[in-house]
Amino acid sequence: MYVFSYSYPFSSRGTTSPILGIALRRLGFLNEVRVMSWICLVVAGLLEIVWAYSMKQSDGFSRLPPSLITLVSMIASFGLLAIAMRSLPLGTTYNMI
């Protein structure tokens, strides 16, 4: 019998006790929505690095390919940040980006 829907790293079949897994889930550390928000936040941070670098390469938006990469990655980064902020606090998301 599984304690939750996924088995990594806290499951009844793993080496960690299911009691610890249940406690962490009740505290909100293993909430699927929160895990997905953290993944969105990390990807948004990586996309921010991409658009900052491609903005430098675009030479003031005078070169088309780096300019397009800048705009697309900027829109995607802000979109993922907005998704992450639905379940994570503002201070946490702002400090991560």
Q: Is the pLDDT of residue 72 over 90?
A: yes
Task: Count how many domains the chain has.
Answer: 2
Q: What percent of the chain has pLDDT over 70?
A: 67
Mean pLDDT of the chain: 79
63 plus 80 within the same structural domain:
yes
- C-alpha span between 24 and 28 (Å, rounded): 6
Structure tokens at 95: 């400090």
- 49-60 pLDDT, tens digit per residue, is 999 999 999 999
- C-alpha span between 1 and 10 (Å, rounded): 13
pTM here is 0.66
Q: Is the pLDDT of residue 1 over 50?
A: no
SS3 80: helix
Domain span holding position 78: 31-96
35 plus 63 within the same structural domain:
yes
74 plus 89 within the same structural domain:
yes
17 plus 44 within the same structural domain:
no
43 plus 71 within the same structural domain:
yes
Eight-class DSSP state of 31 = -
Q: Which amino acid is it at 58?
A: S
- C-alpha span between 84 and 57 (Å, rounded): 28
51 plus 38 within the same structural domain:
yes
